[in-house]
Structure 1
Amino acid sequence: MNKKYWIGLIVAVFLLGNATGAWAGSAWKEVKALFNSSLKVELNGQEMDGVKALQYNGSLYLPAKSVSDYFGLTSKLVFDKKTNKLIIGGPMYLNVSDRVTKNFFHIVVNGNWKPSIMTESQKMYSNYYMGVDFYLESEKGLSLDKYVKQELKSTFKYLKVTQQMNTKVAGAEAKEITYETSDAVGKLLFIQKDSNFATIMFFVDKTRYQDDDLKEYDRIISSLGIQ
């Protein structure tokens, strides 16, 4: 992973000026906050130029736009009045394709994921302590079971498999494997479409793993489309 992200830090939004126009409404109230122009913000060992912080009620508040830019999110920053929601960035749409068959797997990655490896057949995203690796390979004449056995003996021989189950993803046959290593736990998913085999490897730092982390995996799998 390229950067270690602070998952426990609550980064809030501050607005300079009065809440007028689109921001005005009964839900908003004026508050007094402290501003120190000499205060510097260092995030993960890197000083963030031009980022200022406000102190209010014992907490420091950073501008959401500056933080989202640092994490490489899209520049989208919108306040939706109807839902009373601040929208920062947006989902990432990616395709993992095969040159020979022209088939491709379409995936939507929601959340604070950052590209680590980006090639035509492999795309890896990671955030603070989780990662997901998408890989596509064409192997003619192999069943899903044979392909999985082959990969577990070679590419993934370092994994300790704790559970296996047959399933379907986007209408295609798939095999889901729960695994662990010395420093991570996660899910390994093999999907077959014709002679294409997609591998989705989801991993979580073992020291930070929580059951709720698997919801991220579920969201990614539910977004998968195959064409």
Structure 2
Amino acid sequence: MNENLFSSFAAPTMMGLPIVVVIIMIPSMLIFSSKRISTNRLVTLQQWLIKTILKQMMLIHTPKGRTWSLMLISLIMFIGSTNLLGLLPHTFTPTTQLSMNLAMAIPLWAGAVVLGFRYKTKSSLAHFLPQGTPITLIPILIIIETISLLIQPMALAVRLTANITAGHLLIHLIGGATMVLTSINLPIAAITFTILTMLTILEFAVALIQAYVFTLLVSLYLHDNT
């Protein structure tokens, strides 16, 4: 049972070779561009959403932090489209893999921290020791603040992985229960199918929300270090 339940999270292979790289590249083909097709309502709506999200995210940043705007908007579009693509039948969601999410979180977090130590050295070091700390608590606080800093990329990756994986597991379980109940009790099967439909709609929202939360936290880390 466990093998069937978690088999959808296994990285797919073709002729013994992993095809995760090909799957990761697919969402970029779904983004409409005015160079490919003439400008229409869909392209206009897409551009409006991008500008709105970017404007809201860049309000708190300094001019130096706003140089990361292209990277941040690319990140939210990539994670959002990958999450949505994984909700289609017979597909694979790369963001359910902790290794991939760590591969995104660690470089972004490290880049923000390096910028902080380079341009705001005193302010970055001051975070390790709050003003007015008793002398006896200084070593403990430094250790705690160091651990909290180092755990930030892990928290980013685990949050995204856990939310996407939990939603997929619930859809898998309720979908399996609905299939079984159709031959046993149709009224109950209709109820579980309604729950499954509502859960699927919720997962569409979660896919976009988690992309926004991941990017927003990266943006906040950047804001604290620029």
Q: TM-score range by the shorter chain?
A: under 0.3
Greater helix percent: which structure? 2
Q: Give me the TM-score of the superposition, normalised by structure 2.
A: 0.21
Greater relative contact order (Cα < 8 A, sep 6+): 2
Give the TM-score normalised by structure 1. Answer: 0.21
Normalized per residue, the structure richer in strand is 1
